[in-house]
Chains A and B, each alone.
Chain A
């Protein structure tokens, strides 16, 4: 069952099916984004935008008969440039559109309700109605069955089952109660039964749902550090090419003087060359890539508080994984009976089964199953039996039947129990207990009155496929560390079986924090998951901190991501999304720069062949005429943006591989491909243009 978690393919996580794209609104948005205020935010595309305006003006001038080139040619260049800008706008609009649809769905959940405010934090306190958007932090509210919880809060009295499907998509109700790790409630969810008194923890407009909507809409999306650094590179490349094209005019002028013949290169051609050379492909798609990365996170039901966190996920070197729920299934299973010396194994199984019949925990049920499977001991009616439930105080459970006191529990608890009745806890049992623990299992000692019958071995069940997953991570250079409260022996055994690189046994929250600091001091980036309030300091310290939605408010505040499914294995997926986003950026940057080579071969001979005819040999593609060559390059430059939008939104294919292999593959596809593709594309467009120019 949970095997699915560990080996789930990309994008298979829960989340709504993609809604059909509303093309009309995308086109509308693309035109709306033509405003200079929007354009000036993207320096690379702003240059194209200015180029479009200038060429349009040159076309107008040409219409009056005083143009520097034929009106049709200038018009064709101007139109191609406008389309380049529009395509870039459309890419961004498309990426944002996906987020908007998700945001609308969420907004439908966020209803303005009237809260019942309490004077005192008691159910029977004086109360009055208050609109949900006027609730201050610290206010007390009463929510009863059938009502919607008005805003985020912490349960301080009562317990209730709550339907959180609006947020998590999970239809099974969850219990929320005062105290402990299940006290936090989210605005927009519904109380199904009973009542709770909550204390408001979020300011109006800053509740979880509000933040989620803002995030999804991309309203708060600031540029991430890597995006800023990349933008600097793109701006610098743009400046270089601006310089190259601007100086070509005097060079060309000077050359015609020196040569005594020829014509000076036109402004239109220089603008065309400039737009072709500057990294428009990545410049146009950069923001779409970032938004799409955020979208992919949300599709995986993970809500990141910033794009920065997603980016950091790609850089993570160390994963701190909680044993329970991530590496092992939550439950342990009885694996073997170890009878005491001179004791029959069947007697042990029989007693263990009796002690477990009334035990509804998964461990208890697994003992009954094991007894049935090995000795065919069936369930029995227990007349007049008194069942002793497990308590944290005694740390044993069992049954009193026909005067026998049958108990099962931790070794120390049973020892105390037996010795209290005057019995002796045999040395051999201590040895068995240690052996079992060394194997990473949990020993459960069974006693019948003063006799210790033996030990039941409870094994942790490692999730299927997780070992292979860790091996992949190791190949990628990511270290996995298992965090567990178990003792060293148990932890070491499970760590070996699951294939993690290291473990932290008997972990306290302080240990966790220390471990994170230690790794960070080595220069590593650490990711972890957590849900309890005591996880908060470690979550705050970690570079990528995935809090469980089922966890406490403190944990959610401290983390920089929240997993709505509360599935710790999701951390692996988070790393993938982060890596994929950076890979997509890098691949398209490389592709964009590699494209320039072919464009030079198209435009340089076309621009200067009038002055120096021998330069025609550089026209390696055999393009029809200077006009068709320049237009082909500009049109290719615009169309490649459209062609790459799906890639930008989907992300380049991700594989768990060592860096060298990833680099080799992507270099081949986007580097070499980026050099070759435009030669073919420009030639094809030129063939189509031949009749016209």
Chain B
């Protein structure tokens, strides 16, 4: 156990160290006035004016339309895959609803996969659709965070920056360099990077085994750096070609947390209130540690029914102990718990274990983190979501000091509240609404592998994962049906754009306001007290919204397990 805790501490310490380095770099990226030669070339090629000052409406519109165009491109490529030459395995095109789901999934940074990577996508599609959309969707999120922070940092300003500049710089200055270096490390660790489609192995028994390979290492880097999560293979990061060693597992975890955590520093830096950035970092970390503790202790304790049957579940030199169902021996309880917590916190959605096989309380962690959607959160959007809740917190408690609420010195008034509440509402509306719809749809039962509360959890998990733009699956649910492909696709689009665009509006409205100087009469939002309140509001609002649904899923499943029933 000490080793496990040391491991957690070490990985989180490295993450915290990287916050400084990358936070500073991203600040520079967003505020530097100079464009480099590649960027200038790109602007000329795209025919955009990098000097244009965009209002939030224009910024949001450019974001939305460029995303729509890229999604359409992805959709078309998936539809015509079988006509594109070069695939030795001649994999078929995706059906319309599956292609819609896949394109929506990757443009929204969700990476929900209703298809199985090996059998369904050619190497060209893996690169031109999947890896491409993974990169631009992450860049969209980080760029939006840049525009958002810039809006909050300004006073009496009409614009929040230039989307094209933010987007291009994030790709050229942030994502590509990191991914390039990381891909080389991955290749060193044994992850394939080839244009061949398969490798044939003759096994000891004389059988001929087909091993699917392809450009995995490059996909793997942006998959985690971009908090995407879509695997090259159906088994995702549990597959030895995607995640061969504990070191790659650790690098995956650090990659996922890299940008979301560092953005807190960038935030503090850009609004010239460093402490505020750390206060948000602390809020992220506190929630993260809480969830990690829950999943780790639940998985480590294992299943009480085994204990009563006399099975030894203790961790020893010779066995991993705890609940190892659905886990990889090379990662064990600790690395798996940390990966589970990270992948749903940072809404990546890659998995190195089967979430469906977690203990009920362990399985509650990924679903709860996605419901809150702001424990670090996805690239860019995680920070934006936390600020949404910070404004909500300011409004709920700020009036108790006898002033109309203020955030970062700007008055929170009706207009901002409207946008904030829209962003807060979109998330549960999509999750609960679509889950309810699925519950009423007769075909749903046919897609379920399990009955009882676990079956309900599978459906709830699917829409939560889609809406939170996470993409991990609980397994057990056959989601490749027209109904699920369409509704989960819509959930992903709602979860992405109906939270992002209102918050860009908030940034735009806030940018136009003057700033009230801080003093003893104003509510400080960078104190430990406020961080505590923020965490409390996130959990209470999330809890109040989702507790009834959770009560019918993981909570009752846990209680049933205690009384001797499993699913």
Contacts and interface: CB of A to CB of B under 8 A. Distances in A.
Interface of A: 225-226, 228-230, 232-233, 235-236, 239-241, 243-244, 246-255, 257-260, 277, 311, 314-315, 317, 474-478, 521-525, 578-580, 582-583, 585-587, 589-590, 593, 596-597, 600, 604, 608, 611-612, 614-615, 617-618, 654, 658-660, 662-664, 666-667, 670-671
Interface string B382-422: 00000000001001111111111000010111101110011
Interface in B507-545: 514-517, 519-524, 527, 529, 533, 540, 544-545
A317 B516 contact: yes
8 contacts: A253-B439, A255-B552, A525-B516, A604-B548, A604-B551, A612-B560, A659-B401, A666-B400
Contact of A476 (B520, B524, B545): B520
| The 9 A-B residue pairs with the shortest CB-CB distance in the complex, in nearest-first order | A477-B521, A586-B399, A579-B402, A236-B421, A614-B559, A254-B439, A477-B519, A247-B436, A666-B400
A478 B520 CA distance: 8
Given A252-B552, A614-B562, A671-B397, A523 B515 contact: yes
Nearest to A666: B400
Nearest to A616: B559
Contacts of B489: none
A618 B551 contact: yes
Contact of B418 (A232, A258, A580, A671): A232
Contacts of A583: 399-402
Given A228-B414, A239-B425, A243-B433, A590 B552 contact: no
Interface of B: 155, 392, 395-404, 409, 411-414, 416-418, 421-422, 424-425, 428-429, 432-433, 435-437, 439-440, 444-445, 448, 451-453, 455-456, 459, 514-517, 519-524, 527, 529, 533, 540, 544-545, 547-549, 551-552, 555-556, 559-560, 562-563
Of B421, B429, B527, B548, most A-chain CB atoms within 10 Å: B548
Given A597-B540, A659-B521, A590 B451 contact: no
Contact of B517 (A314, A475, A524): A524
B37 to A, nearest CB: 41
B509 to A, nearest CB: 12
Contacts of B418: 232
B453 A258 contact: yes
B563 A614 contact: yes
Contacts of B440: 250, 253-254
Contact of A523 (B409, B521, B533): B409
A233 B420 CA distance: 9
B399 A604 contact: no
Given A228-B414, A315-B403, A475-B520, A250 B436 contact: yes
Contacts of A524: 516-517
A478 B428 CA distance: 41
A251 B436 contact: yes
Contacts of A580: 402
B421 A233 contact: yes
A155 B546 CA distance: 69
Nearest to B523: A659
Given A522-B517, A660-B523, A664-B529, 9 more contacts: A229-B395, A240-B424, A258-B448, A314-B402, A315-B411, A477-B520, A478-B521, A583-B399, A654-B402
A179 to B, nearest CB: 41
Contacts of A230: 395, 399
A311 B411 CA distance: 13
B85 to A, nearest CB: 47
Contacts of B424: 236, 240
Nearest to B427: A240
Contacts of B514: 521-523
A15 to B, nearest CB: 22
Contact of A247 (B411, B412, B435, B562): B435
Nearest to B448: A258
A179 B328 CA distance: 94
Contacts of B453: 255, 258-259, 612
Contact of A244 (B409, B545, B563): B545
Contact of B435 (A251, A258, A315): A251
A151 B418 CA distance: 44
B516 A523 contact: yes
B432 A243 contact: yes
A258 B520 contact: no
Given A523-B515, A524-B516, A229 B400 contact: no
A239 B516 CA distance: 32
B56 to A, nearest CB: 19
B27 to A, nearest CB: 24
B403 A314 contact: yes
Contact of B432 (A247, A314, A659): A247
Contact of A259 (B403, B412, B451, B524): B451
Contacts of B563: 614
Nearest to A597: B540
Contact of B456 (A233, A239, A258, A663): A258
B552 A663 contact: no
B412 A229 contact: yes
A244 B401 contact: no
Of A229, A233, A239, A250, most B-chain CB atoms within 10 Å: A229
Contact of A229 (B417, B435, B533): B417
Nearest to B559: A614
Contacts of A314: 402-404
B395 A659 contact: no
Nearest to A612: B556
Given A250-B440, A476-B521, A586 B400 contact: yes
A247 B546 CA distance: 11
Contacts of B456: 251, 254-255, 258
A259 B452 contact: yes
Contacts of B395: 229-230, 233
Contacts of B392: 233
Of A235, A241, A254, A590, most B-chain CB atoms within 10 Å: A254
A523 B517 contact: yes
Nearest to B551: A604
Contact of B522 (A258, A477, A578, A604): A477
B273 to A, nearest CB: 15
A257 B441 CA distance: 12
Given A240-B545, A608-B552, A658-B520, A232 B400 contact: no
B452 A258 contact: yes
Contacts of B547: 600, 604
Contacts of A667: 397, 400, 533
Contact of B428 (A243, A317, A614): A243
A604 B556 CA distance: 12
B556 A615 contact: yes
Contacts of A660: 520, 523-524, 527, 529
A275 to B, nearest CB: 14
B404 A663 contact: no
B413 A229 contact: yes
A233 B559 contact: no
Contacts of A582: 399, 402-404
Nearest to A227: B414
Contacts of B417: 229, 232-233
Contact of A260 (B397, B444, B451, B552): B451
Given A590-B400, A614-B563, A232 B556 contact: no
A589 to B, nearest CB: 6
Contact of B552 (A246, A251, A477, A654): A251
Contacts of A235: 421
B550 to A, nearest CB: 10
Contact of B399 (A226, A241, A521, A614): A226
B412 A663 contact: no
Contacts of B521: 317, 476-478, 658-659
B403 A579 contact: yes
Of A477, A600, A667, most B-chain CB atoms within 10 Å: A477
B439 A250 contact: yes
